[in-house]
Amino acid sequence: MSNVPHRFAPIQRLLHWLMAACIFAMFFIGVGMVSTVAPTYPPLILTHKTLGVTLLVLVVIRLAVRLHYGAPPLPADLPPAMKLGARLSHLLLYGFMIVMPLLGLGMLWAAAYPVVLYGGIRIPALLPQSDRVHTLLWNAHFYLGFAFFALVLLHLAAGLFHALIRRDGVFGTIALLPSRNRTTPVE
């Protein structure tokens, strides 16, 4: 098993935590901005759009990196159901990371809003105005946003479960810094 990595590559670990922080911010900015009429609203929505589009770029890079480096195997003693759950949930997380920004952009295009990011960067519309498409994408962005948040919480709980209860080295595969004291990866 000498070719199998024991940890995610540094770039993968960096991207994982950078994007995790940004995605958490996106959830909070999203629900915060739509529930306020305060002067913070325009800067919040500007940040939501800019960060969201940045995340779209990052996920593309992340997928390319993932295809290149692969992933370390899960512990051999992990029950098959848990392994399947882990794989499926990671797949879903990737799906959300790709789909959410696209829905956000699409919903603005379909409402004929100009999409302007920080620094006046403009994203040209790829969809014509349409009530129906706007409503569809709005609903998807709304409901999938909550589903994404729920899955991230589950993922967080699972990660902590590995780190604190199973102590099986899974957390160490993605941890930003190697921790001497913790566990060694699967052997």
Residues 152, 23: contact at Cβ < 8 Å? yes
- For residues 26 and 110, which CB has a smaller minimum distance to ligand HEM in the complex? 26
The residues in 98-157 that bind ligand HEM, with binding defined as CB under 6 A, are 100-101, 104-105, 108, 115, 138, 141-142, 145, 148, 152, 155-156
Give every CB contact of residue 136 below 8 A, 6+ residues apart in sequence.
Answer: none
Here the tokens at position 147 are 């589903």
Could you give the angle at the alpha carbon of 65 between the alpha carbons of 104 and 14, nearest 5°? Answer: 80
The one of other proteins, ligand HEM, none whose footprint includes residue 54, by CB under 5 to 8 A per kind, is none
- Using CA atoms, how far residue 19 sits from 60, 94, 127, 149, in Å, is 12, 11, 27, 14
- Options 47-55, 80-88, 95-103, 110-118: segment touching other proteins (CB under 8 A): 110-118
Separation between Cα atoms, residue 115 and residue 142, nearest integer Å:
19
Q: List the one residue from 19, 33, 100, 175 that touches other proteins (CB under 8 A).
A: 33
Per CB under 8 A, the list member of 67, 79, 80, 122 interacting with other proteins is: 122
- Binding residues for other proteins (CB under 8 A): 27-28, 31-42, 45, 75, 77, 111-114, 116, 120, 122, 124, 129-132, 134-135, 138, 149, 153, 156-157, 160-161, 164-169, 181-184
